[in-house]
Chain A
């Protein structure tokens, strides 16, 4: 059974700080996705990483896929209050996508 573990579960930081959140598994994934979910809304896809070692940047967000395709990280530079939300990683085989429990980020102004 594939599992995705995310850490930390909760993170509260000041505006302007940098942070990294992690998504780990003992299973190999063909790709991993990162979603952000705001209160009362559905998740929104941020990025998909496919190749082991791949790094993708989305403005102040940097996503990395581990060389062995078992883990991924999300680094946010100079966090802003607008980054507040629940960050979910996801992956799977075919249509059976599994999600991690998420990292809840709160950025204080």
Chain B
């Protein structure tokens, strides 16, 4: 039982490059989330998927797209990376929004 897994753990991109962050959970949770964490700002919700087949914008969705591939997997795509997207990205899953389980994070540096 791995919980929430994220790949890759680290990534360096050049401005304008694209990439997809992968997230998978094995807890049979309906809901999944993507957050970014920046120094002094806590975690901010980018997108969430309340259930398989649905996705909705969070607080900071600009520059990102998501895909809920199936119940287990929720990916985050940066189409044209910008330095402002340098951050640590966390995926989470839950049965109820009040109890979220987080992955270990992806550290992204955009040059």
Query: Which A residues form the contact surface with B (CB < 8 A)?
Result: 4, 9, 31, 33, 40-45, 48, 88, 90, 92, 94-102
* Interface mask (B24-62 → A, CB under 8 Å = 1, otherwise 0): 000000010101000011111100101000001011000
With beta carbons under 8 angstroms apart, the residue of A42, A48, A88, A102 that contacts B98 is A48
Q: Is the CB of A95 within 8 A of B105?
A: no
Q: Are A45 and B4 CB-contacts (below 8 A) given A96-B48, A101-B41?
A: no
Query: Which B residues form the contact surface with A (CB < 8 A)?
Result: 4, 31, 33, 35, 40-45, 48, 50, 56, 58-59, 90, 92, 97-105
Across-interface contacts of B104 in A (CB, < 8 A): 40-42
The answer for the CA separation of A92 and B100 in the assembled complex, in Å, is 13
The answer for the CA separation of A43 and B90 in the assembled complex, in Å, is 9
From A4, A92, A95, A99, residue with most partner B Cβ within 10 Å: A95
The minimal Cβ–Cβ distance linking A69 to chain B, given in whole angstroms, is 14
Q: Is the CB of B33 within 8 A of A101?
A: no
Q: Is the CB of A44 within 8 A of B102?
A: yes
The minimal Cβ–Cβ distance linking B98 to chain A, given in whole angstroms, is 5
The answer for the CA separation of A43 and B91 in the assembled complex, in Å, is 11
With beta carbons under 8 angstroms apart, the residue of B31, B40, B41, B102 that contacts A95 is B31
Q: Is the CB of A101 within 8 A of B45?
A: no
Q: Which single residue of chain A is at the shortest CB-CB distance from B90?
A: A42
With beta carbons under 8 angstroms apart, the residue of A44, A88, A95 that contacts B33 is A95
With beta carbons under 8 angstroms apart, the residue of A41, A48, A96 that contacts B58 is A96
Across-interface contacts of B45 in A (CB, < 8 A): 96-98
The answer for the CA separation of A92 and B102 in the assembled complex, in Å, is 17
Q: Is the CB of B59 within 8 A of A43?
A: no
Q: Is the CB of B42 within 8 A of A42?
A: no
Q: Is the CB of A88 within 8 A of B59?
A: no
With beta carbons under 8 angstroms apart, the residue of A40, A42, A95 that contacts B97 is A95
Q: Is the CB of A33 within 8 A of B42?
A: no
The minimal Cβ–Cβ distance linking B29 to chain A, given in whole angstroms, is 12
Q: Is the CB of B59 within 8 A of A33?
A: no
